[in-house]
Structure 1
Amino acid sequence: MSDVQEFGEPLPSSDALTTVTRRGKLMPARRGGVLELETEEGHVELLGPFASTAELGDEVEVVGVPAPEPQTTESAPGILVQHVRKL
Structure 2
Amino acid sequence: MSQIIMKRQKQPYRHKQEIMYLMLDAARSPKTRTRLLYESMTSWEQTNEYAKELINYGLLSYNITEGTYITTEKGLKFVQLYSSLKEKLE
Relative to the length of structure 1, the TM-score reads: 0.25
Looking at secondary structure, tell me which structure has more strand per residue.
1
User: Normalized per residue, which structure has more helix?
Assistant: 2
If you compute each CA radius of gyration, which structure gives the higher value, 1 or 2? 2
For normalisation by structure 2, the TM-score amounts to 0.25
